[in-house]
Structure 1
Amino acid sequence: MSAWLIFFSLFVKQFTNVIPQPFTVLPFFVFSAYLIFKVTLQPKELFQEKIFQGKIVLYFVLLTVSEIILLIWNYSKFGSDSQDFNILGSFFGFLSTILSLLIVYLLLFCSIRFDADMYRYIRGTILTLAVMGILVLVPQLIVATGKNWTLSWVNYIDQSILPRWGIVGDYVKGSYAATMHRANGLEIEPAFLAGQLAVVFLPWVLSAVKHGYSFIKNKFGQFPTEAYVLLFFIAAVFALAKTTTGLVAIGLTGLVLVWDMRGGTQKFFITMAILGLAAITLAYFTINSIHGFLDGYLFAKGGQSASNRTGGTIGLFLTFLHYPLFGVGNGYVSHYIVQFAPRNTKLNVEYLWGFSHHYAVLSDWGGFLAQYGLLFFLPIIRKVRELFYDFRTKMPQDNLTIFVKDAAKYTMIMYGVLALFDFNWFSYYSLISIFVFVRFAQYRMKETQVLKS
């Protein structure tokens, strides 16, 4: 099953909007069926193991109690209107997130128990990227450039398995890619695709380049041709997706390649970075299309969407500064965004017709800090530090440990920086991509303890 985890997790289209999103997508049904099968097949083996740490259970109990108190307080303060999900809807939304975390944790606990399972997960993830690239991304990129060679296929994929915004104008030509001339993969928009590629796939590719791991041969000490091909393909998708998230991901990738590679590989990428920066700088000042592209998506973003995104992000961090310890809870944060967003960011039609009625969270870290505060954020930082300490001191420093440790490092870099913006960071594929490192550390440390005893 470990080889299929990322494949199934990519299907994020909801079957209905009546119940919370985590329970209305294909991964929920597939993963739930697998867990039920495992429990019925090996009930004693699973229940005899210590699956949860006491501190983790306490963390979520306190988080739930805090959420209940804040929901009651916010309801007494605001009542219920379009800016919130009402007190019951907000609480069920919160519980759905907790249950998603539980499902992912149990899924990884059951499916990854040995090194062979971990290798299957890694190679299955890369195979999923290759299949998605051939069947989805390349056809979308062809259509996005104005060629209609793959239009019917792209429209079929969009209409059958892709999620959609409730904006009819984004799909008048049959699909988002054909209408907006931007690739969105299996996600709802290009920014989410960029976040998905950066968090789920890119870290394994970067680690393979660094350590000479061949996904095809399943060996270290090789020249990873396929990793280089995938690296340049992902970078091309980042650029052609035309999104700030993708351009930031390119910058992060460049920094990793320049600062964290080794030997000749590092020298090669330093040379490429210098030449690339020189070429981009020259093109920015001499080619109008490049100048407009970089200004429009990076240096000088303008328009209503950029204004509302900026205002919403400022509103979230000001909410956090006003309520730094516990935050304001899940579900009612839109009221506070409207209250704290700068007035000049609200002077546009998109705000008046949309965000004034419900202000969406447009910065993942801003949203988390505003809703849950430092008391529930700092323990996460501590657990991440403990994870890397375990990688360094409590596991045998063989090829696999070092390879996975670097992939974990790159994942945290991508996840941590891109979460300043907005992507599908609590989807099943994002959660799996984070918790797989926790699971790897668990079984590896257990094996080490058994050997010592």
Structure 2
Amino acid sequence: MVNFLLPITFFSKNYTNSLAETVTMVAFPVFLVIILLQLYRYPNRLKSIVPSKMAIYLTGFFWIVQLLVMAWSYGKTGETILTTGIIHSGIILAGWTVTVYVAWAVIQLTIITERDERAFLKSGLIGLIFYLLLTVFPQITVTFNLSFFHHYVNEIAHLFERHWRMHANYNFYANGSYVTTEGRVNGFEPEAAFLANLLGVVYLPILIGLTATGQKFWSWTKKKGTDQFLNVVFAFVIIMILFLAKTTTGILTAGIAYLLWAFWANKKLRWTLVWLAVIGVVLLAVAYLKVGVIHNTLNQFLFAKQGTDNRLGGTIALALTFLTHPIFGVGYGFTSYFILQNVPLSTTDNFEFQHVYSQFGYPNLSDFLGWFASFGLIIMIPAIWLLFRLLARTFLVKYRLSQLNLNEEQMAWHRGLIISFITMVVLAAFSSIFVIQVFLWPYLLMFFFYRKHIIRLEEELQQ
């Protein structure tokens, strides 16, 4: 069962916008079936998916506060296309709540031993290899104006690509797919930035953890050095794709991930990464000066990025929305109305604002500020406290590992997963400055996977 968990999440297409995205993806019924099968096979595991009293209390508190706040906001906004409405917001929020529970439950029921953990990560990385070969690499050829895969890319996009709601004269997928319309790589995600988040936040930390500890991971290789070489190459392939995705999120994520990789790596690998970085920076600087494509790409998505008015205006408006409703926020699904009340006029003189955002609603273009604006300090402070508490426990376990009677391979495995988890949290926190959607399946699965591993280590330390 564990082998299906991560690979199925690549198929991220949602089949209706009436519910939370995750419950309309193919992964949702698959996970429900896996949960039922696991309970049928191991009835004694039922108690492992019964939430604790604290979890129930916190969820109940969250819902009571949100319903009251959404009711207040609805009374202020009324029925308007600028918000999702109190009933629809409640339905979508219920879907996200179910998603969190299902992701936690499926990890609880399927990943019990270290063997399960290894199978979970191996199947995810193998699935990623096929995803890159069959989906991402053909898309890259299209971005280089090679027409050989043009029809193939459009066909698989028609079957599996997740789309935003589009409007007249504003359609990312008008030519058959995002790639053929926008000239940027997106996998099956709705935009290039979301592919960058998927690769950079979910999968790159796994390879950083494996290579930083130099452990034997793949059963079909004979030597540890071969493993290290393959995993390093795999990590560099992902970093290269983050650049080729032509998105600010991807470029910055690649840079931060590389710094974290060098920080965690052993001495030999660290020096290799430092020298490669120096060589890479020099070559990139020369290419920036001499190669038109590189020059234009770096200017367009990093140094002199244009068309940032809406992101700037939306970010300012979200901050103002939070500052004017700091305790309770404005409720899930209602930020758009308040963004339009607070957005600076100087950022509204563009087609996207005038013909889309002002008429159909302004999306949260910064998830971090969006969470504070939606939920307020009353929800965000406990959430951040719980996350920092888990991180503190993780660092404590990391430094107490020497107390366990472990061989070198087991020690490397535990240290590698801890490094991967911390790296993922840092990259997710950075990406939340923009848009990341952390409640999608791959992020939740990885979070609960790492969390369960930390809890297992804590239990072993107490024995």
TM-score bracket relative to the smaller structure: over 0.9
Per-residue deviation, 1:390: 2.9
The correspondence for 1:433, drawn from 418, 429, 446, is 446
SS of residue in 1 equivalent to 2:139: helix
Per-residue deviation, 1:255: 1.3
CA distance in 2, matches of 1:73, 1:438: 36
Corresponding residue of 1:329: 331
Contact 1:162/1:187, CA 8 A, preserved across alignment: yes
The alpha-carbon distance between structure 1 residues 122 and 49, as it changes in their structure 2 partners (threshold 3 A), is closer
CA distance in 2, matches of 1:67, 1:73: 10
The alpha-carbon distance between structure 1 residues 431 and 50, as it changes in their structure 2 partners (threshold 3 A), is closer
The one-letter code matched in structure 2 to 1:437 is Y
Corresponding residue of 1:206: 208
TM-score by length of 1: 0.93
CA distance in 2, matches of 1:166, 1:187: 13
The alpha-carbon distance between structure 1 residues 123 and 423, as it changes in their structure 2 partners (threshold 3 A), is same
- Structure 1 gaps, min length 5: none
Corresponding residue of 2:90: 91
Corresponding residue of 2:406: none
The correspondence for 2:432, drawn from 419, 422, 433, is 419
Corresponding residue of 2:321: 319
Per-residue deviation, 1:67: 0.3
Q: Which moved more, 1:273-282 or 1:144-153?
A: 273-282
Matching of residue 150 in structure 1 with residue 174 in structure 2: no
Contact 1:391/1:401, CA 8 A, preserved across alignment: no
Corresponding residue of 1:345: 347
Corresponding residue of 2:405: none
Per-residue deviation, 1:296: 0.9
Contact 1:214/1:227, CA 8 A, preserved across alignment: no
Corresponding residue of 1:402: 415
Q: How does 1:113-192 map to 2 (within 5 A)?
A: 113-167=112-166, 169-192=171-194
CA distance in 2, matches of 1:201, 1:284: 29
- Structure 2 gaps, min length 5: 403-410
Q: How does 1:190-339 map to 2 (within 5 A)?
A: 190-217=192-219, 222-223=225-226, 224-303=228-307, 306-339=308-341
SS of residue in 1 equivalent to 2:172: helix
Per-residue deviation, 1:447: 4.3
SS of residue in 2 equivalent to 1:188: coil
Contact 2:201/2:424, CA 8 A, preserved across alignment: yes
The one-letter code matched in structure 2 to 1:312 is G
CA distance in 2, matches of 1:347, 1:170: 21
RMSD between aligned alpha carbons?
Answer: 2.1
Contact 1:22/1:28, CA 8 A, preserved across alignment: yes
SS of residue in 2 equivalent to 1:149: helix
Deviations 1:15-59 (A, max 9, x none): 22333322211011101111122234433x134447433333222
Matching of residue 445 in structure 1 with residue 445 in structure 2: no
Deviations 1:388-429 (A, max 9, x none): 333344574522211110000110111110111113322111
Q: Which moved more, 1:276-285 or 1:154-163?
A: 276-285
Contact 2:330/2:375, CA 8 A, preserved across alignment: yes
The one-letter code matched in structure 1 to 2:231 is A
Corresponding residue of 1:21: 21
Contact 2:366/2:433, CA 8 A, preserved across alignment: yes
Which portions of structure 1, spanning 4 or more consecutive aligned residues, are displaced by more than 6 angstroms? Answer: none
Count of residues paired in the alignment: 447
CA distance in 2, matches of 1:246, 1:51: 38
The one-letter code matched in structure 1 to 2:413 is L
The alpha-carbon distance between structure 1 residues 445 and 258, as it changes in their structure 2 partners (threshold 3 A), is closer
Contact 1:364/1:425, CA 8 A, preserved across alignment: no
Q: Which moved more, 1:230-239 or 1:10-19?
A: 10-19
Corresponding residue of 2:54: 55
CA distance in 2, matches of 1:61, 1:82: 29
Contact 1:211/1:221, CA 8 A, preserved across alignment: no
The one-letter code matched in structure 2 to 1:158 is A
Contact 2:264/2:419, CA 8 A, preserved across alignment: no
The alpha-carbon distance between structure 1 residues 145 and 49, as it changes in their structure 2 partners (threshold 3 A), is closer
Matching of residue 377 in structure 1 with residue 380 in structure 2: yes
Corresponding residue of 1:31: 31
The one-letter code matched in structure 2 to 1:441 is I
The alpha-carbon distance between structure 1 residues 90 and 169, as it changes in their structure 2 partners (threshold 3 A), is closer
The alpha-carbon distance between structure 1 residues 392 and 344, as it changes in their structure 2 partners (threshold 3 A), is closer
SS of residue in 2 equivalent to 1:273: helix
Identity %: 26
SS of residue in 2 equivalent to 1:116: helix
Corresponding residue of 2:408: none
The one-letter code matched in structure 2 to 1:270 is V
